[in-house]
Structure 1
Amino acid sequence: MNNLDFAGQTAVVTGGGQGIGLAVVKRLLASGAKVASWDMNGEGNKAAMAGLEGQTLAVTCDVSDYSSVQRALEQTEAQLGPVDAVVNSAGIAGPNATVEDYDNATFERIVAINLTGIYFVNKVMIAGMKARNYGRILNIASIAGKEGNPNACAYSASKAGVIGFTKSLGKELAGFDIGVNCVTPAAARTPIFDQMAQTHIDYMLSKIPRARFLEVEEAAHMICWLVSRENGFSTGAVFDLSGGRATY
Structure 2
Amino acid sequence: MLGAPNTGVVITGGASGIGLAAAHALAAVGRPVALWDINAEGAMAAAADISATYGVSAVGLAVDLRNPQGVAPAAVQTRAALGSVGGIVHGAGTAVQTGIGGVTPENFDAGMALHVRALIELTQAFMEDLKANPGSAIVGIASINAWFGNGMIPI
TM-score (norm 2): 0.85
In the TM superposition, residue 104 of structure 1 has moved relative to its aligned partner by: 3.0
Q: Which moved more, 1:75-84 or 1:5-14?
A: 5-14
Matched, 1:69 2:67: no
In the TM superposition, residue 147 of structure 1 has moved relative to its aligned partner by: 3.9
Residue 46 of structure 2 is matched in structure 1 by 48
Residue 153 of structure 2 is matched in structure 1 by 152
Q: Which has the larger radius of gyration?
A: 1
Alpha carbons of 1:69 and 1:101: their partners in 2 closer, same or farther (altered >3 Å)?
Answer: closer
Tell me the percent identity: 32
Structure 1's consecutive aligned runs of 4 or more residues displaced over 6 angstroms after TM superposition are none
SS of the residue corresponding to residue 11 of structure 1 reads strand
Cα RMSD, aligned residues only:
2.2
Residue 140 of structure 2 is matched in structure 1 by 139
CA distance in 1, matches of 2:101, 2:33: 42
Residue 25 of structure 1 is matched in structure 2 by 23
CA distance in 1, matches of 2:132, 2:46: 32
Matched, 1:102 2:103: yes
In the TM superposition, residue 132 of structure 1 has moved relative to its aligned partner by: 4.2
The aligned amino acid for 1:152 is I
CA offset digits 1:84-124 (Å, max 9, x no partner):
11100011122232x23433322221222122222211222
CA offset digits 1:192-217 (Å, max 9, x no partner):
xxxxxxxxxxxxxxxxxxxxxxxxxx
Aligned length: 150
Matched, 1:13 2:42: no
CA distance in 2, matches of 1:124, 1:7: 20
Residue 114 of structure 1 is matched in structure 2 by 115
CA offset digits 1:62-97 (Å, max 9, x no partner):
112232111111111112111011100011122232
SS of the residue corresponding to residue 59 of structure 2 reads strand
The aligned amino acid for 1:58 is G
SS of the residue corresponding to residue 149 of structure 1 reads coil
SS of the residue corresponding to residue 141 of structure 1 reads coil
State the structure with bigger RCO (CA 8 A, min sep 6), 1 or 2. 2
Gaps of at least 5 residues in structure 2 are none
Gaps of at least 5 residues in structure 1 are 155-248
Contact 1:6 1:33 in 2 (8 A): no
Alpha carbons of 1:147 and 1:9: their partners in 2 closer, same or farther (altered >3 Å)?
Answer: same
